[in-house]
């Protein structure tokens, strides 16, 4: 379907980073906007295919808000920038990471291919819109993957027009792609990407820009740059955090948590109204080991044979999850508490250890259990099972909130495990929990001393007013 502009713009300009959530995902916050150009021949409309070149693996989508210039902009002040925008619509700044190395920075081959800039389907009148109150949403195969608004952009939309117009004259019909929020990732042939731009109340909407992903019908000619990928590029394309952004958990906090019993943590979480923070039904390969780290999540879905080849083969979500691990992270798996098939075995567990993982937690089964136990990597699991991947599960996605053993685990949550089990600790509560847990454990040591001396537990456990003075005296006595 033709794009809605009717005529070809003289240029398409795209912003690299503009949403704080995307900047956090990328591990850097730019001081000033930076841009790249896309050829006008890359424009497409809703329904047009996004054709992944043969030999490429990492076809990525990026839902964006597109601005269409209505009148010439040259040396425009920021407060007047929006006045030069005629239309607003949805866009997909598509590209293949496999060719990004060839034109580092310019993105010409990786993002400039024919059809890689679909826009539409409807144009919204910019004069009726508040540039700080637009909502952008993206779906892949009907599942929401991006949802953000323009209230906190790093660089407001009118400011982009002003910045560009200092040196580049913007002509009527020119298109500005204003950046993508967190959630942009990789799609494969057979997937369908949809993008919508609307007002916050959805009274005005661009409608859904819908584009199926296909495989190109011809081979990529062998002259010139050819597709090239590695583990770091895969992690970048799939949207995982950079591997060099420091330790996953503050070393001092990790040390304090390692000194605490999960029973104490569970008690303190319960006092705060958090009743469902234990990962139930799992046991450790080594009851004497301690697990402390931040969650990196992997979600399995029930097996569907017609989808397993697409999602279970190659560099699937299970393997990506392991390759995405950073030092100090715990691989946490949602296998729907199904113990009748393995969710990880000795080779991937070894790779997780080599990557610096703090441990593994799965509410499914463990393959090669003796070999995994011998690795010395703290691992919690529901059962042993010899079956390979594909008997009960499809590895689906990573870095998303999951249910593991009945507990909701978000990426970045802190996991603490010992012989009693595994507890999920909200990061924003960790410091105060440590302080209260240390006090609770001090009280319990005092109580244990008194019980050993023959005292009855009434009024003593939990520590009652009658024992407070004795407890304070015990604290002040050198041990």
CA distance 368 to 346: 6
368 is in an annotated binding site: yes
Hey, which residues does 137 pair with through a beta bridge? 147, 196
348 is in an annotated binding site: yes
CB atoms within 10 A of CB 59: 25
CB atoms within 10 A of CB 215: 14
Residue (of 76, 70, 198) closest to 129 by Cα position: 198
397 is in an annotated binding site: no
CA distance 59 to 61: 7
Residue 184, classified by CB atoms within 10 Å of its CB into exposed (0-12), middle (13-18) or buried (19+), is buried
Q: Which residues are CB-neighbours of 370 under 8 A, at least 6 positions away? A: none
Distance of CA 11 to the CA centre of its chain: 32
338 is in an annotated binding site: no
Q: Which residues are CB-neighbours of 393 under 8 A, at least 6 positions away? A: 300, 301, 302, 303, 335, 338, 341, 343, 364
CB 332 within 8 A of CB 402: yes
Residue (of 298, 4, 34) closest to 173 by Cα position: 4
DSSP result, 317-378:
HHHHHHHT--TTEEEEEE-TT--SSEEE-HHHHHHHHHTT--EEEESSEESSHHHHHHTT--
CA contacts within 13 A on the Cβ side of 95: 25
CA contacts within 13 A on the Cβ side of 85: 30
Hey, which residues does 361 pair with through a beta bridge? 332, 380
Tokens in use for 82? 């929006």
306 is in an annotated binding site: no
CA distance 212 to 209: 10
Annotated binding residues, written as ranges, equal 345-348, 367-368
Annotated binding residues for substrate, written as ranges, equal 345-348, 367
Annotated binding residues for Mg(2+), written as ranges, equal 368
């Amino acid at each position: 379907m033709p794009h809605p502009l009717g005529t070809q713009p003289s240029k398409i300009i795209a912003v690299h980073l503009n949403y704080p959530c995307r900047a956090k995902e990328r591990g850097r916050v730019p001081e000033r906007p930076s841009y790249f150009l896309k050829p006008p021949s890359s424009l497409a409309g809703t329904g047009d295919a996004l054709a992944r070149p043969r030999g490429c693996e990492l076809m990525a989508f990026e839902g964006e808000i597109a601005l269409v210039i209505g009148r010439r902009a040259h040396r425009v002040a920021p407060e007047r920038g929006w006045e030069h925008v005629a239309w607003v619509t949805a866009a997909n700044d598509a590209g293949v990471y496999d060719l990004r190395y060839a034109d580092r920075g310019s993105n010409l081959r990786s993002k400039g291919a024919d059809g890689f800039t679909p826009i539409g389907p409807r144009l919204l009148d910019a004069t009726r819109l508040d540039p700080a109150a637009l909502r952008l949403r993206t779906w892949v195969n009907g599942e929401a993957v991006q949802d953000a608004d323009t209230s906190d952009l790093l660089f407001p939309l009118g400011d982009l027009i002003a910045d560009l117009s200092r040196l580049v004259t913007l002509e009527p019909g020119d298109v500005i792609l204003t950046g993508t929020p967190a959630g942009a990732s990789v799609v494969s042939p057979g997937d369908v990407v949809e993008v919508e731009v609307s007002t916050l109340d959805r009274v005005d909407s661009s409608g859904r820009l819908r584009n199926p992903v296909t495989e190109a019908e011809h081979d990529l000619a062998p002259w010139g740059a050819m597709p090239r990928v590695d583990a770091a590029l895969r992690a970048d394309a799939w949207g995982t955090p950079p591997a060099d952004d420091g330790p996953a958990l503050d070393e001092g906090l990790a040390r304090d948590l390692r000194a605490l019993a999960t029973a104490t943590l569970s008690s303190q979480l319960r006092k705060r109204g958090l009743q469902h923070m234990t990962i139930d039904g799992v046991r450790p390969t080594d009851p004497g080991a301690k697990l402390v780290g931040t969650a990196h999540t992997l979600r399995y879905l029930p097996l569907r044979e017609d989808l397993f080849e697409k999602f279970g083969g190659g560099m699937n979500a299970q393997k990506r999850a392991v390759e995405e691990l950073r030092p100090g992270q715990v691989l946490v798996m949602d296998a729907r508490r199904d113990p009748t098939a393995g969710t990880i075995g000795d080779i991937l567990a070894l790779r997780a250890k080599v990557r610096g993982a703090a441990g593994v937690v799965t509410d499914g089964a463990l393959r090669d259990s003796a070999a995994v136990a011998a690795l010395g990597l703290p691992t919690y699991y529901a059962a042993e099972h010899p079956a390979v991947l594909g008997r009960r599960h499809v590895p689906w996605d990573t870095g998303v909130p999951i249910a593991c053993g009945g507990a909701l685990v978000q990426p970045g949550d802190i996991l603490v495990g010992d012989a009693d089990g595994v507890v999920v600790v909200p990061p924003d509560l960790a410091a105060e929990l440590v302080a209260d847990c240390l006090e609770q454990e001090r009280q319990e040591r005092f109580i244990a001393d008194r019980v050993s001396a023959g005292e009855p537990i009434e009024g003593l456990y939990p520590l009652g007013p009658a024992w407070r003075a004795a407890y304070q005296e015990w604290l002040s006595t050198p041990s």
